[in-house]
């Protein structure tokens, strides 16, 4: 599993029909919306893309579109580790509508998703194996219930790794959340009625902090993470099918 997402949508109802009928939107209208969500930032158009390619865009980039009765943003700055802490300006931008958030990162097995109706937080979940359940607000949606009931346990990958710290894999639940809330998946076998995310056209923008402070902080954080990174562990399949950890001296 290697999917990543950073999705935020404002919609008048079910988002899935809007995505299914998506057409190329007016870039002038979209750039105004992106600027409204990023006050004080420099926003410039840089091209186009698809939802399938840019559900998790690069740093300093935002991909967005205006749909029939909805707006969709692919933007890492708009996703919160704990969705209940979303900035007020985002709730104000989606006032009177349904707001849907979905964030997922394969490197850390982290998942969050949330839904607000008319400003009220209906459901929020943030979970990862390292951080555990960071947030769990509201009643679980129907698609979640088998996961909480233990129907999707995670088998240990390596010998001695111990049991997985959660009753399910966040990325597996994340794909089901993506299908239920947005109507498509990024990994796995699509259902016949799933939306093809590569058919959803997006406009792309560079969204930059004009002071340069944000970029400098990001680079400093990356340096700290690299310093903390442990050396990789290597394993070899043995004749009996088991895995044995091998040292750096072994070929």
For the chain, the structural domain boundaries read 5-246
Average pLDDT for 76-104: 95
| Cα radius of gyration rounded to whole Å, the chain | 20
Considering all CA atoms of the chain, what is the largest pairwise distance in Å, rounded to the nearest integer? 62
pLDDT band at 155 (very low <50, low <70, confident <90, very high): confident
Q: How many CA atoms lie within 13 A of 111 on its CB side?
A: 24
Number of neighbours of residue 152 by Cβ within 10 angstroms: 15
C-alpha–C-alpha distance, residues 103 and 145, integer Å: 20
* 4, burial (CB in 10 Å: exposed 0-12, middle 13-18, buried 19+): middle
The whole-angstrom separation of Cα 212 and Cα 181 is 35
For range 99-126, the mean pLDDT: 95
- Could you tell me which of 64, 68, 70 has the C-alpha nearest to residue 34? 64
Number of residues written out for the chain: 251
Q: What is the pLDDT of residues 39-74, one digit of tens each?
A: 999 999 999 999 999 999 999 999 999 999 999 999
Residue 159 has pLDDT above 90, yes or no: no
């Amino acid at each position: 599993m290697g999917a990543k997402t950073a999705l935020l949508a404002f919609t008048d109802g079910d988002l899935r029909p809007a995505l299914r009928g998506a057409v190329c939107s007016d870039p002038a209208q979209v750039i105004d919306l992106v600027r409204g969500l990023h006050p004080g930032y420099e926003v410039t158009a840089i091209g186009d893309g698809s939802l399938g390619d840019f559900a998790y865009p690069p740093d300093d980039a935002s991909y967005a579109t205006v749909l029939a009765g909805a707006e969709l943003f692919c933007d890492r700055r708009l996703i919160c580790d704990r969705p209940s802490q979303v900035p007020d300006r985002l709730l104000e931008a989606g006032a009177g509508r349904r707001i849907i958030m979905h964030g997922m990162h394969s490197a850390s097995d982290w998942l969050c998703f949330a839904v607000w109706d008319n400003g009220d937080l209906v459901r929020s979940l943030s979970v990862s194996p390292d951080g555990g359940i960071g947030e769990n607000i509201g009643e679980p949606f129907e698609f979640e219930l088998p996961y909480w009931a233990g129907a999707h346990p995670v088998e240990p990958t390596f010998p001695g790794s111990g049991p997985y710290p959660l009753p399910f894999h966040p990325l597996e639940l994340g794909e089901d959340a993506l299908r239920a809330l947005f109507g498509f998946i990024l990994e796995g076998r699509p259902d016949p009625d799933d939306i093809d995310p590569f058919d959803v056209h997006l406009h792309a923008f560079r969204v930059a902090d004009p002071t340069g402070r944000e970029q400098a902080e990001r680079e400093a954080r990356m340096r700290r993470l690299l310093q903390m990174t442990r050396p990789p562990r290597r394993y070899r399949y043995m004749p009996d099918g088991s895995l044995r950890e091998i040292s750096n001296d072994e070929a």
